[in-house]
Each structure stands twice: as C-alpha cells, then as structure tokens.
Structure 1
Amino acid sequence: MSRIRVYTVPGCPFCERLKKFLKEKGIDFEEREAPPYSEVWEEMVQKTGSGAVPQVLVDDKPLGGYLDVVFLEASGKLYQLMKPDEKTEGAEELFDVIILGAGPAGLSAAIYTARKLMKTLVISKNIGGQITWTFDIENYPGFSQVNAAELIEKFRSHVERYGVTLEVGKEVISADLTGRVKRVVLEDGRSFYGKTLIIATGSRHKVLNVPGEKELVGRGLSYCSTCDAPLFADSRVAVVGGGNSALEAVLDLAPIAEKLYLISLTPLTADPLLQEKVKALKKPVDMYLKYKTVRIIGDSEVRGIEIMSLDDGSTKVLDVDGVFVEIGLMPNSALFVDVLATNERGEIIIDEQCRTGVAGVFACGDVTHVPFKQIVVAAGEGAKAALAAYHYLMNRR
C-alpha cells in the first residue's frame, strides 16, 4: 500500500472534492492543512513544486491536484499508483463523449458522434424523453403521422446499430464539468469519464397532480398542442393554463375543435397580443378564470374535467373529449446551474455551436434557451452538438 499525503486548505472546494473522491474509491490518505505561507505550505511547495492546493504526494512523489487525480482515474492508472498491490481491471473507461439524455436531442447526438467514430456513452433515465408523454406525432419528417412508441423504437434501434454504450434507468446525481476529463456519478455510485460532455436532459412539463391526470396521458390528455391538436378535430376540448403556452394552444385548436374551454387559476397572464387574438376568434372560448382543476374524468379515455371556483368553492363538470395541460415547462438543468450560464427560466445558454462556455461541455434540445421546443428542432440541435464536440476534440491541444 502506498503512503498518500494530501495538502489542503479549509474552505477550498477542490480540496473537498478530492477528499470525497478518494474516500469514495476506498483510498486511505493523510491530510495536512497548509494555509498559505505557513510551515506546512512551505513543505508542500518544496515537495511538490506547487503553491496551489490541493496537492497529492504518493510515497513522497508529487501526483498533482484534483483534476490530475480524476484524469489518472479515468485512464485506469490511479490504482496502479496508489494501490499497486491490488488488481486494476475494474478501472473505468474513458469515453470520447458522454451524452446525458436519450430524447430526440441526445439520440441524434449519439448517432452523429458514433458516425465520427467517437467512443460514445449515453446515460438516461429512459429512452424517448418527452415523446413518452404523447401518443401520436404528426409531421415528423418522413411521417405524416407516427405512433410515439414506434418513433422511440426507431431512434433506439438506429443508435444501437452503431454500438453506442447505453446506460438506461439510472439517474446522474453529480457531474464535474471542469478540467480536460469530465466525470459523472450515477445514483448507484458508479463513475464515468469523458473527454467531452453533451447535456441533452430536456425539460419536463409542469403537471397538475390531480386524480386521473397520469392515468389518461395519451388517452385524451396531452401536454403539447403543437404535437396533438390535429387529433382533436370536431371535439370538445379544455385547455388548462393562462399564460402564453395556454393561449397558443387555444389558437392551435380553434380552427378544428368543436368547442373550447380555457381554465386558469389566475386572470390571464399571457402577452396582450395573444389575448387579443383569442378574443378576436370567430369561435368563442368559454373562460373559467380563477378556477382550479380538481380531477380529470374518464376510464379508458377523457370524458370530462371537474373544476372548482376559487371565489366561492363551487364545482362544475365540463364534458370534454380532450384536455391540454399548458402550464409551462421546467428544464432539467438543476445539476448544472451552479457551473453553466442559464437564463431566468433555468435553461442553459448556448452559442450557435451548442457550446456552453465551459470547454468541452455542450448542450442541446429543450434544456437550452433555443426557442421552439419541437422534436425536429431538438434532433437538429443534437446533431450540431455532436459535430461541435467532434471538432473540439480534433482541435484540442
């Protein structure tokens, strides 16, 4: 067993990361606090040649700092140095790219990175992303209409043709984006390493959390009027929400629906221009403002919606064939907001090449600030991110 000494300073975030990293790997070490210009700091400078913390010594030989240790772990050399008597065949692989998310953006990125012969790992809680929340999809290129499950399967089989490594069903709980090697940790404790990282974690619809909602998704209840409005021709439809997305859904549905209802917890908050357009519709929209949705009614399909007045508590049941929940989206960016630039909605800000501002880290799809949250847009952004990651690796020194 090698003798390992770690020089640290209280309050140093990279020192804390290094200690946590070594503990997770079961590597014992001696910690020495080295405040600047102290006797211990002078010792550290003499032994390692560096005044920056943290610093690691292995048998009195300088190993470097936190990022150096992570790189050695990714290349499989860390155990050889720190635990030379133990087997090292379990050392993690180093991927050219790790893609977080397996919706249209993530899977499109995987196809392009694989075709560039980049060693690719895709990590995702599921395959399909938001597509799994809908039933039929219209006007995706090549299909006038396609079943969502069928499109997801086509995406998956296309990716698997190229031998891409898939880790599905596990959630990423932490990610180190700095340094030449990126590290992600799964909920089961495993770590993966990549030279580049593409964030394609998408967004999630805000839900009502009322009885019947979950059970009737894809059976008359939808979260995307752009995707599903054509399926409700000559139907009675309720739209839940009072913001821009809700009024845009009303405008999508107005030309085809038989009857439209708008239900909102508050007075309308949408842009005045959208409100004027809705008011100018030839087909009147029955508005229930300051009403709460109580439940979605139906067995195998939507048959109605129960609402309650916030003013007097009275309830009402509207007979409808469809319900569109349009109360907004939330980007799945919580892991990255402390490191990457985001807008007021939490969407990751990127440039025209899907770069985030952190070297080697790219983002694409609905998790970004790019407008028009559509499947075809996400797929195109995924291709862009993959090509940008490839060019980054080719030009890196």
Structure 2
Amino acid sequence: MFQSDPYDVIILGAGPGGLQAAIHAARKKAKTLMLGRMDNSSLYWAHVENYCCQFKISGEDILNTGREQAISFGAEFRDEDVLSINPDGKLFKLDLESGESVLAKTVILATGSSRNKLKVPGEKELLGKGVSYCVDCDAGFYRDEVVAVAGCRSAAAGGAVSLTNFASEVHLYCEELDIADGLSEQLKTSGVNVHEGVTIESIEGTDAVEAVKLSDGTTQSVSGVFIELGAKGVLELTASLGVQLDESMKYIETDKKQRTNVEGIYAAGDICGPPLQMAKAVGEGCVAGIEAAGFAKKLEL
C-alpha cells in the first residue's frame, strides 16, 4: 500500500526529541507524522529529577503527555517502525513494517543512539569477527553462509528477510515476535527459519563466529550473528541517504539548525551525540521541528 500525498514532516522516534519536534512542526501547521514506539525510548523506563521545572517524574508520564500535546496540535502517530528510507525525487520514501510506504518532504531522525546488547558470552569478544549490529552494513559479507539473527521486533524480522538475499540459511531466534501483520507475512514467505521461544545463550568461536548455543540446549553452526533488538538504528536508516556521521560512526553530524548534510534530513536528541540528556533532546527537537516545517512549506515539487 502506498500513500501518495506527502507529509510535510515525518519524525522517526517517539522519545523526547521526536515529541518536541512533532509539537513544534504541528503548531506550524505542517502535516506531521511520528513513527515509532514510546517504549523503545530509554526515557520510557526512567525517572527524571534533573529537568528544569520538574521534580521527580516518570519518563512514561512525560512521553504520554508529550504525545497528547502533539496530537492536540494535529500531529499523527503510528506505533510502528521504519524499515528503510530512500530518496524519491525531492521527497523521501519510507517503507514501514506494516507494508505501507509513505512520502515526506522532510525527515527528522530522533531514534536515539544506543545499540541494545544481547549480553551473552562471546558477543563482545567476537564483535567485528562475525557479530554485527547492522544487517544493511554487513549482509554482503555472508553470501552463501549460515547466519543467525537475534530479536523480536521489526529490525530483527526485516533484517532476517533482507539476509535471505545473501545467506544460504537464516535463523531468527526470539522469545515472541512483536511485529506488524505486513512484516509477519513477508517473514512467513521469505524462507527464514523462525525459532520462537528459543534464544541465543552464547556465541562460540575463537578468531571468528562458529556457532551459537541456544536456550533449548542445542547448538547451531553459523558464520555470523546479527543482533537487532528494537527498531532500525542510525547506521541502517542512513545507509542509503549519505547522511554524515561522526568519526565514531555512532552519531549524526548536524549544524545549529539541526540540519544534516542531506537537504531535507534533520536530526535531534541522543542520535546527535552527548550529553545524552532529555533537556538537550528537547531543545534540539524544538529547533528541528521548526526548521523542518519551514523548509517543507517552501519546497516546490
């Protein structure tokens, strides 16, 4: 399904930076869509006591209030993740886990910075030697190999489907899949071996990944392990856009207007680097929302 009428602003990430961007973009009468799940935000599980004008308050309460504010100004919300972003003329085409695609005049990246770890033996030791956190970056190294993917949400399921274009076998391990119906159908027809209720307990190998030991007591021989816990990260989402990252390849570089080096792409919050604080994320979200809305209004298609 394809929605041809473009949004002025699409925001990726439902944390404080993204919410503040949605509030300001919507108040500027920009057609605004926010994509993401609030419980993917690290703030959702936190308690805050260092934010101006607030004593101790739960992150969940902050995010729920911000969502209500943005909706009151006209922003739309969808609790699903983005699988890919690609240029489409002067616009950007975003493919969603539901199977739908949407167009945007501008995109604000506010997905946070952390890469969730599996926290099992061998993960740290074999990073870069078969352990990867980026399917889009490293899939090509595993042509005709057997690989494992760990995760239950869209990044894991979408990554596993993508890997079938390279690997001879793809095994997806998770407690319980939590993905949209459209992506679920893709997964079923992709040839991915899905092992629900089975998780990776350790990654084996000396100089390279050789196998994974599983919670059901079995061992699967693999050459690569892709850890995809949550939504798509900065590396995957920016791979096709040419967005400039810093030297660590963790954070997006922006100017004082939160613009990236790609016209129409903005970024805010932890994805732009430390300090990883809500106050900084909110300030950058404010700037990004205002600037993106202004750019979208002036864009001639």
Q: Which bin holds the TM-score, normalised by the shorter protein?
A: 0.5 to 0.7
Counterpart Cα distance in 1 of 2:92 and 2:21: 17
Counterpart Cα distance in 2 of 1:205 and 1:396: 34
SS at match of 2:38: coil
Q: Quick check: 2:39–2:45 contact (8 Å CA) kept in 1?
A: no
CA distance 1:377–1:92, shift in 2 (3 Å): same
Write the deviation string for residues 223-270 of structure 1: whole angstroms up to 9, x where unpaired: xxxxxxxxxxxxxxxxxxxxxxxxxxxxxxxxxxxxxxxxxxxxxxxx
Which residue is equivalent to 1:131?
43
Write the deviation string for residues 152-189 of structure 1: whole angstroms up to 9, x where unpaired: 22112111212211111x22111113631111001221
Q: 2:15 aligns with which of 96, 103, 120?
A: 103
Which residue is equivalent to 1:335?
237
Gap runs ≥5 in structure 2: 121-231
**Is residue 140 from structure 1 mapped to residue 51 from structure 2 by the alignment?**
yes
**Is residue 112 from structure 1 mapped to residue 16 from structure 2 by the alignment?**
no
Which residue is equivalent to 2:89?
179
Paired amino acid for 2:95:
V
CA distance 1:208–1:192, shift in 2 (3 Å): closer
Write the deviation string for residues 266-286 of structure 1: whole angstroms up to 9, x where unpaired: xxxxxxxxxxxxxxxxxxxxx
Paired amino acid for 2:11:
I
Which structure's CA Rg is the greater one?
1
CA distance 1:157–1:363, shift in 2 (3 Å): same
CA distance 1:347–1:337, shift in 2 (3 Å): farther
Gap runs ≥5 in structure 1: 1-24, 26-72, 74-90, 211-329
Which structure is higher in RCO with an 8 Å CA cutoff and minimum separation 6? 2
CA apart distance, 1:206: 4.6
**Is residue 355 from structure 1 mapped to residue 259 from structure 2 by the alignment?**
yes
CA apart distance, 1:357: 1.3
Q: Quick check: 1:331–1:366 contact (8 Å CA) kept in 2?
A: no
CA distance 1:199–1:149, shift in 2 (3 Å): same
User: Cα RMSD over matched residues?
Assistant: 2.6
Q: Quick check: 2:8–2:297 contact (8 Å CA) kept in 1?
A: no
SS at match of 2:281: helix
SS at match of 1:341: coil
Counterpart Cα distance in 2 of 1:386 and 1:180: 19
Paired amino acid for 1:140:
Y
**Is residue 159 from structure 1 mapped to residue 62 from structure 2 by the alignment?**
no
SS at match of 1:183: strand
Q: How many residues align?
A: 189
Counterpart Cα distance in 2 of 1:337 and 1:352: 23
TM-score, normalising length: structure 2: 0.57
Q: Quick check: 1:201–1:333 contact (8 Å CA) kept in 2?
A: no
Paired amino acid for 1:167:
R
SS at match of 1:177: strand
Which residue is equivalent to 2:177?
none
CA apart distance, 1:348: 1.1
The farther-off stretch of 343-352 and 356-365 is 343-352
**Is residue 385 from structure 1 mapped to residue 288 from structure 2 by the alignment?**
yes
Paired amino acid for 1:105:
G
SS at match of 1:95: strand
Q: Quick check: 1:101–1:122 contact (8 Å CA) kept in 2?
A: yes
Q: Quick check: 1:333–1:348 contact (8 Å CA) kept in 2?
A: no
Quick one: percent identity of the two aligned structures?
A: 32
Write the deviation string for residues 185-205 of structure 1: whole angstroms up to 9, x where unpaired: 012210011111111111226
Counterpart Cα distance in 2 of 1:96 and 1:333: 24
Structural mapping, 1:42-57, within 5 Å: none
Counterpart Cα distance in 1 of 2:262 and 2:284: 18
CA distance 1:102–1:386, shift in 2 (3 Å): same
Write the deviation string for residues 368-392 of structure 1: whole angstroms up to 9, x where unpaired: 24x3110010011001111111232
Which residue is equivalent to 1:201?
111
Counterpart Cα distance in 2 of 1:162 and 1:373: 27
CA distance 1:207–1:129, shift in 2 (3 Å): same
TM-score, normalising length: structure 1: 0.44
Detail structure 1 runs of 4+ shifted over 6 Å in the superposition. Answer: none
Q: Quick check: 2:9–2:296 contact (8 Å CA) kept in 1?
A: no
